[in-house]
Amino acid sequence: MYQVLNLSNGIRVALEFIPYVNSVSVGVWVKSGSRYENEDINGISHFIEHMMFKGTKIELLSRLQRISRD
């Protein structure tokens, strides 16, 4: 079962408690993307996606390696 909260600043938060899981997961969804683009900015969301996650695999791997050593 999950619960959805609407905060006063407009952010919607979805929560789910799973008693047998000992971890936390965070997801962020933003109402943006190609469906909200006009002809002048067509493709900008895809471009920003690539720029934000460029090199993520390497950085993520090094972070996980540091965490596993601790």
What residues act catalytically? 49
Q: Please work out, in degrees rounded to the nearest 5, the angle formed at the alpha carbon of residue 25 by the alpha carbons of 68 and 1.
A: 140
Phi-psi label, residue 33: left if phi above 0, alpha if psi -120 to 50, beta otherwise: left
Q: Which amino acid is at 47?
A: F
